[in-house]
Amino acid sequence: MALLDGKKLLITGVLTDDSLAFGVAQLAQREGAEIALTSFGRAMRLTGRTARKLDTEPPVYELDVTDPAQGEALRAELERSWGRVDGALHSVGFAPETCLGDDFFAPDWDDVSVAVHVSAYSLRTLADVVTPLMTDGGSLVGLTFDASVSWPAYNWMGVAKAAMESLNRYLARELGPGGIRCNLVAAGPMRTIAAKSIPGFAAFEDEWVKRAPLGWDVNDSEGVSRACVALLSDWFPQTTGSIIHVDGGYHSIGA
């Protein structure tokens, strides 16, 4: 029996086939899950084209995580089409250009608030969409980039990720009595569209390749996909509020 046989999973964040979420979607299907994707605005067409590259083309629903009405509409659609949801992947993040780069003090609150809303609070938004439909328990899994330390150039996106990591723990506490688990996967640097928007990101890649105890391939996201799929399955029934590092062990070594 495949790991996700019979599971119904909502997956956010698929833009191109180098998206981390695409790897999760592909592996989830191959492990027996029925999936649906989300996108919004002009990106809907790009997500739709990428969806056709999966083994079975899934539906693509619109979800702007800053629009509560879209969340309510998506929950109603999932209830109509599926009746229940077993798991969801949060792979959503965005920060205005001023929030990244050399000048930590460049952005004002208007820009910072966008980063926090889209990259952190949206985990709660996704929970609002799917957890009412997790009638027999379920699993929320999010993607992060280790926010326990500060990183060059990552700046306010790092602050937003730290907020997301805290939010994950609070969601785990609140949703646990309903049998719903909430965990994050902290991936090492990968060559994705999101990474290309971070100034100097190549330096992250070089550092990881040199120092990760298990080695690191910035083009190979299979380890991340496997971790997410495992957490979406029933194989971690007592794990919640956790951050699983899939970074070649980089997080465990000192400077």
**Dihedrals φ, ψ of 104, to 5°?**
-65, -30
Exposed/middle/buried for residue 211 (C-beta within 10 Å: 0-12, 13-18, 19+) = middle
Rounded distance, CA 27 to CA 77, Å?
24
Q: Which of 7, 8, 154, 250 is catalytic?
A: 154
Q: Side-chain half-sphere of 165: how many Cα atoms within 13 Å?
A: 18
Annotated catalytic residue 210: no
Annotated catalytic residue 53: no
Q: Which of 121, 161, 170, 210 is catalytic?
A: 161
Query: 10 Å Cβ neighbour count for 252?
Result: 10
Give the distance from CA 97 to its chain's centroid: 20
> What residues act catalytically?
154, 161
